[in-house]
């Protein structure tokens, strides 16, 4: 009888400096695949059509239409492969190994063409300072599978917390999605009221922020589109637009704090993984920031929330 492998650490250490070169390469690889999804799927409010779902093995694009073809793309962070599946049963697989962004781009696009999938994308990365076209990027070439798997396992556990957090909200809320532009896992709640888009922001952000929302999620601390690097993984939560008094709100746990540069509350990952009940700490953080934000923003909470026990037994 085969031995059962020991369960992996579900809240492993993930210092950004240990895998930053890999993170920067993987960030761009996910954008190559994400831009294919962006080019072929119909727009869904707040860009929900472009995000990836966390799976039991990695990340999945979901179904993508391409003329008379339909396909999906899966990142497998256990076997470290990328697979393209079509509805007619065909599968092509690429290994995730050290290679330049240019090599990955050309191999992926050639594989799509070989499967009868024709698509053209803008090859310039987004939400990355000083971007270099995918097809010309010979600099980013690192891929260390071990920290990639740790990162994905953290996202998988966080996804389950976000699903629980999302459940009692009956207003408009987003699916839990990995956004390849910012390289973070995110979920958002909406008040139902419009908001003035941030002036001077890129078009995608103006579209994403045209309604009042509270957003939260997990971010490994990589560089932002404005060039700021937090340098370590963290959970975050913010409201847009920010009401007066939000910066001074009392949120849980005590280790959480408002980060003035980022304009959001931060709970550092190391403070979570060393807690007795990490999932409960994360949930309390998301919920307490939401409550403070919604109260200060004057949201109609009674009409936007319900108790999950109301549906018990159905």
Nearest to 162 by CA among 232, 235, 234, 222: 235
| pLDDT of res. 66 | 97
Residue 270: how many other CB atoms lie within 10 Å: 15
Per-residue pLDDT reduced to its tens digit, 131-148 = 999 999 999 999 999 999
pLDDT 10s digits, 48-72: 999 999 999 999 999 999 999 999 9
Neighbours of 39 (CB within 10 A): 14
pLDDT 10s digits, 99-128: 999 999 999 999 999 999 999 999 999 999
Average pLDDT value for the chain: 95
Q: Is the pLDDT of residue 5 over 80?
A: no
How far apart CA 258 and CA 214 sit, in angstroms, is 15
Structure tokens at 183: 């390289």
Q: What is the pLDDT of residue 222?
A: 97
The pLDDT tens digits for 275-294 are: 999 999 999 999 999 999 99
b (16+ CB within 10 A) / e for 119-147: bebebebbbbeeebebeebeebbbbeeeb
User: Using alpha carbons only, how large is the chain's radius of gyration in Å?
Assistant: 20
What are 127's two structure tokens? 């939400």
Quote the pTM value: 0.95
Portion of the chain with pLDDT greater than 90, in percent = 91
- Angstrom distance (rounded) from CA 194 to CA 191: 8
Average pLDDT over residues 174-194: 98
User: Is 158's pLDDT higher than 60?
Assistant: yes
Per cent of the chain over pLDDT 70 is 96
Structure tokens belonging to residue 161:
């917390």
Predicted confidence at residue 307, as pLDDT, reads 76
């Amino acid at each position: 009888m085969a031995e059962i492998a020991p369960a992996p650490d579900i809240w492993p250490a993930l210092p950004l400096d240990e895998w930053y070169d890999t993170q920067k390469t993987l960030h761009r690889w996910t954008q190559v695949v994400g831009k294919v999804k962006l080019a072929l799927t119909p727009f869904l409010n707040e860009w929900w059509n472009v995000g990836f779902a966390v799976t039991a093995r990695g990340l999945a694009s979901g179904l993508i239409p391409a003329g008379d073809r339909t396909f999906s793309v899966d990142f497998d962070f256990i076997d470290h492969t990328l697979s393209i599946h079509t509805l007619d049963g065909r599968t092509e697989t690429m290994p995730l190994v050290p290679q330049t962004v240019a090599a990955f781009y050309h191999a992926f696009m050639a594989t799509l063409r070989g499967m009868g999938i024709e698509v053209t994308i803008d090859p310039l990365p987004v939400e990355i300072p000083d971007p270099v076209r995918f097809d010309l990027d010979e600099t980013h070439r690192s891929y260390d599978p071990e920290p990639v798997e740790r990162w994905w396992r953290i996202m998988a556990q966080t996804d389950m917390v976000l699903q629980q957090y999302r459940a009692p909200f009956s207003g408009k809320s987003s699916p839990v999605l990995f956004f390849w532009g910012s390289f973070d896992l995110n979920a958002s709640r909406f008040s139902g009221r419009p908001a003035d888009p941030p002036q001077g922001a890129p078009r995608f952000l103006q579209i994403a922020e045209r309604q009042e929302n509270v957003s939260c999620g997990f971010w490994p601390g990589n560089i932002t589109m404005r060039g700021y690097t937090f340098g370590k993984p963290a959970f975050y939560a913010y409201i847009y637009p920010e009401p007066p008094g939000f910066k001074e709100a009392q949120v849980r746990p005590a280790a959480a704090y408002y980060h003035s540069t980022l304009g959001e509350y931060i709970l550092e990952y190391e403070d979570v993984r060393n807690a007795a009940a990490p999932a409960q700490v994360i949930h309390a953080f998301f919920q307490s920031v939401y409550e403070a934000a919604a109260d200060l923003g004057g949201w109609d909470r009674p009409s936007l929330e319900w108790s999950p026990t109301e549906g018990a037994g159905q």
